[in-house]
Amino acid sequence: MKTRKLGRTGLQVSEIGLGTWALGSSVYGDVERSASETLIQGSIDKGINFFDTAPLYGSKTEDGIAETVLGAGLGARKDEVIISTKFGRTATDVMPGRFTAKEARQSCEASLRRLGRSYIDLLFFHSPFGPEEIEDDVWAELDKLQAEGKVRSLGHSVSMYEDTRDMSADWMRDRKIDAIQVVLSPFNRETRPLIDIARHLDCGVVARECMANGFLSGAIRRDTVFPQGSLNARYSREEIGERVDYAESLKGLLLGGAVKTLPEATYRWVLDQPGVSLALSGAKSLAELEDSVRASQLEPYSSAVLERGEALHTQDFCPA
């Protein structure tokens, strides 16, 4: 596994990280605790040192299930890895966002208890919908948490991109945050201007939703029926068809030579985008993780292939 510097945090991170949303909720189907622990330990063995989680990754009755699972799964290896988590939204109280001093303190300390750790490497604002949600007192409290050694670096997990990109850029310029987490895949490229700002300001970039909610897995067909309550159940048959057709067109461009699968191609494409520090895999098993790990070992795509990919892309499909 190759590594890259996470911007001005100075952290050296694996090119592939493990996102744990699927380990804390049934959004992508249930995962047994024992399987989660096997995945977490196996990820470290494969060279992954970055794990992303959040209090939101839980159930309607329990916050931070993924944090608890991650802490237990890491066991004695907690200090071998880099952990990012978030604040401002919880599984039991998702809306509205709460980006206040009180919430930052309570959320951080609850996350530390669930993780069984004394510090968080990177604490993200969890997807504020606009600058009006950010209370002025939150920054002083975050400074205190850093001074106490409970938080090492701050970041912004970006959602509602059009409404929050300027806020995120200002935070980076003002050195309030050191990293951003953004949606990025061949299906959705809208965040690249913000990534470019981060690159020039030496801020880290964590790419998420790289597999476009599974449409880049190669396993979804036009007639696929998604379980009720899953993220993809919201799409009409026409929308599913559009996504499947676009994934097929990407196969024709990106597969060949050493690149054997569409997931390999997808993660390689993400890693080839300027400014990206690492790409998150949402794997639920070691078998699902393999493609992303292999992508880190592949040679970058040529500029000619990447340019043809730009010509092929005519719209951004909406993220989760």
Q: What is the pLDDT of residues 228-237, one digit of tens each?
A: 878 888 899 9
- CB atoms under 10 Å from CB of 160, counted, come to 11
Q: Which residue has the tokens 């159940």?
A: 233
Q: What is the mean pLDDT of the chain?
A: 94
Q: What is the DSSP letter of 31?
A: -
Picking from 287, 288, 286, 290, the residue whose alpha carbon sits closest to that of residue 298 is 290
Helix (H, G, I), strand (E, B) or coil at 308: helix
pLDDT at 193: 98
Residues 6+ apart with CB under 8 A from 29: 22, 227, 230, 284
Containing structural domain, residue 94: 3-312
Percentage of residues of the chain with pLDDT beyond 90: 89
pLDDT at 31: 62
Task: Answer positive or negative: Cα dihedral of 36, 281, 149, 140.
Answer: negative
Question: What does the alpha-carbon distance between residue 36 and residue 284 come to, in Å, rounded to a whole number?
Answer: 7
pLDDT surpasses 90 at 196:
yes
Question: What does the alpha-carbon distance between residue 179 and residue 172 come to, in Å, rounded to a whole number?
Answer: 8
pLDDT at 319: 84
Note whether residue 14 is domain-resident: yes
CATH of the domain at 98: 3.20.20.100
Q: Number of folded domains in the chain?
A: 1
What are 139-161's pLDDT values in tens digits? 999 999 999 999 999 999 999 99
Question: What does the alpha-carbon distance between residue 18 and residue 52 come to, in Å, rounded to a whole number?
Answer: 6
pLDDT surpasses 80 at 27:
no
Note whether residue 318 is domain-resident: no
User: Which secondary-structure segment (H or E) carries 82?
Assistant: strand 82-87
Note whether residue 112 is domain-resident: yes
Q: List % helix, strand, coil for the chain (3-state, nearest 5).
A: 45, 20, 40
Residue 203 bridge partners (DSSP): 7
Task: Answer positive or negative: Cα dihedral of 219, 225, 230, 236.
Answer: positive
Note whether residue 317 is domain-resident: no
Note whether residue 319 is domain-resident: no
Q: Which residue has the tokens 């690249």?
A: 192
From residue 267, alpha-carbon distances to 92, 134, 185 in Å are: 32, 33, 8
